[in-house]
A and B are shown apart, each in its own frame.
Chain A
Amino acid sequence: MATQTLEAAPRAATTVSLEHFDRRLRLFNRICAGVLIAFALLWLIPLLWAVDTALKPNAETTRTTWLIDDPTLDAFGRILRDTDILNWYGATFISSAVTAIGTVLTGSLAAYALSRMRFRHRNVVFWFVLAGIMIPGQVLIVPQFREFDSVHLLNTYWAVALPQIPTAIAVFIFKQFFDGLPRDLDEAARVDGAGAFRTYRTIIMPLTRPAVAAVFIFTFVSTWNNLLWPLLVLTTPDLMTVPVGLATVQGTFGIRYADTMASAVLGAIPLVAVFLLFQRHIVQGIAGTGLKG
């Protein structure tokens, strides 16, 4: 806004050259838009092709064309009837929600202590937590698997959710957010006789909604999409998450391409819905944490 008012003065002085410049710029911007639209359409082709295929009868998929002679929802019906996909939705939703709630709660509590409380070895604790960002989760799968095997928790929601709850980056994101909130709020609450937990719950957390939304959505989506870990710990079809279920049954479709694509589309729908609903949170979450992390 401020730059626009500032620019008005010099523009009047150099009208001629700027007019020429504006015309050149407008042409340039139009070319940019054209190139970008072409790429965006190219990027949409795989998704559109999947939907297109899923709407064909299986027999028609061998003719590779966008046109559908006999559009039908049969493939979706078969997937819903013949696979456990409805169970997978439920199972994935439960483990993703439990993980996301756990990550937000444990992460924000720990971050509150690290941001607001004075205690001995605070820096040691902070660096200890930060070190966790360095450890790629994938190198832990073997010991984690033996751990859950030894306490007989394989094939449970616990096995999927628990190891994904402690996320060092979530603590870091919350701490950064808390550090940005004015201390006067805490002081005022303390004067009113509120303890640390009440300050956290009634003053700090309500102000932290953007960070809570970002961490919750990210944890939810990454748990939902995780393949390797749930693949190892879940072998009962009822408990499988959507990615594990899809990866497990994909071989059985053979050349029934419409069915395969219907299963892919059904697997994508919940996340496309999450994306459309929370687009802004997701994008801002990446931008904010990515650049500051």
Chain B
Amino acid sequence: MSTQTAAAARAATEPRRTGAARPAAQQTRPAIGFLAPFIVLYLLFIIGPALYGLVMSFFDTSLVKPGLAGFAGFRNYAEALRSSDFWSSLWHTMWFTILTTPPLIILAFVFALLADRVRRGRWFFRLAFFAPFILPSAVVALIWMWMYTPLLGILHVSLDKIGITAPNWLGDPNWAMVSLAITTVWWTLGFNFVLYLAGLQEIPRDLYEAAAIDGAGPWQQIRTITIPMLGRTTTLVAVLQVIASLKVFDQMYIMTSGGPNFATRSILEYVYDESFTNYRVGYASAVSMLFFLVVLAVSFVWFSIVRRQEKEV
């Protein structure tokens, strides 16, 4: 890590020196050759579809009929903003984000902090916390659906043994989203854990040594050195987490199909339902665009926070 940063810093000064000596227009043609494979695929499968989706959102396009069909203007957007299904799915997405983000940041931070103090057996913690992250959502969903099974599931039986009556995890509309959130925390915590571990390793050890000589105990060191020094990591973790949570789809699709009684239908599942069950792709595109605006807003908030943090340093 540190060698890479040093190399990057060196390179930042170097290119200008060598680059300026060369005639500018010389490499345009080979550059096009290098860029072409990426740019062609990028235009065909990212930019093109993005624009096509934007156009469709202004038409009454149907999945089962060719062409764009009649012009709708802003009717799709107006319908979405008036639709209670749209707002409830947006709320479910927000609720899922609220339920998952704090534990995924705090637990990852605490686990990384603890792991940083343990000298031996790091591989074991990495395996335990990170291995779930690399599993497909379908595998995670199957395992947790079995754990959540009423009466027979390990969660019901274990809680029963200590005298707690387990809720009907996925079947109760009040609990279904919480259950999906628990599964998601278990599944994706490893990613944030690894980010925090890397952040911890960037903190110079002599800071702790100096604090220790001044008589600072472990708690004081954490409060006055570790937490402030991890500010940028936390910003990064938080934003990546919020965006990832907003995009939730797989867990709902497999574990609850958006139920019970649509209590866990996320915004992407709403898009999926409108497109592929009701065939209303024009309307679904409008909903996608509104969702895109939400993600964009989050990214911009992050961007401005990072800029402020960089100014402070």
Query: Measuring CB to CB, which residues of chain A are less than 8 angstroms from any residue of chain B?
Result: 3, 6-7, 10, 14, 17-18, 21, 24-25, 28-29, 32-33, 35-36, 39-41, 43-47, 49-50, 53, 61-62, 64, 102, 105-107, 109-110, 112-114, 117-120, 122, 125, 129, 132, 134-136, 138-147, 150, 162-163, 165-166, 168, 171, 176, 179-183, 187, 195-197, 200, 221, 224-225, 227-228, 231-232, 242-244, 246-247, 250, 257, 260-261, 263-264, 267-268, 271-272, 274-275, 279, 282-283, 286-288, 290-291
Contacts and interface: CB of A to CB of B under 8 A. Distances in A.
Contacts of A10: 213
B1 interface: yes
A197 B27 CA distance: 12
Given A64-B152, A181-B11, A132 B42 contact: yes
Nearest to B294: A136
Contact of B111 (A39, A138, A141): A39
Interface string B31-67: 1111101110110111111101100100000010010
Q: Which 8 A-B pairs have the closest CB atoms?
A: A287-B198, A113-B34, A143-B49, A40-B128, A110-B38, A180-B7, A246-B138, A106-B38
Interface in B123-140: 123-126, 128-132, 134-139
B215 A21 contact: yes
Given A250-B254, A275-B134, A291-B195, A64 B186 contact: no
A117 B39 CA distance: 16
A231 to B, nearest CB: 8
Contacts of A3: 204-206, 209
B53 A247 contact: no
B129 A40 contact: yes
A176 B5 CA distance: 10
A275 to B, nearest CB: 5
The A interface, classified by DSSP as helix, strand, loop or mixed, is helix
Contact of A140 (B26, B49, B139, B189): B49
A208 to B, nearest CB: 12
Interface residues of B, number: 117
Nearest to A227: B250
A250 B253 CA distance: 12
Given A50-B143, A113-B35, A196-B30, A143 B7 contact: no
9 contacts: A43-B128, A109-B34, A132-B46, A162-B45, A165-B41, A228-B268, A250-B142, A257-B152, A288-B1
Contacts of B296: 134
B75 interface: no
B26 A286 contact: no
Interface string B198-218: 110010111001001101011
The B interface, classified by DSSP as helix, strand, loop or mixed, is helix
A182 B11 contact: yes
B15 interface: yes
A250 to B, nearest CB: 6
Contacts of A142: 53, 56, 271, 275, 281, 284-285, 288
Given A110-B35, A139-B292, A147-B52, A283 B18 contact: no
Nearest to A66: B154
B39 A110 contact: yes
A46 B39 CA distance: 43
Given A10-B213, A41-B128, A287-B195, A227 B11 contact: no
A210 to B, nearest CB: 9
Interface string B297-309: 0010000000000
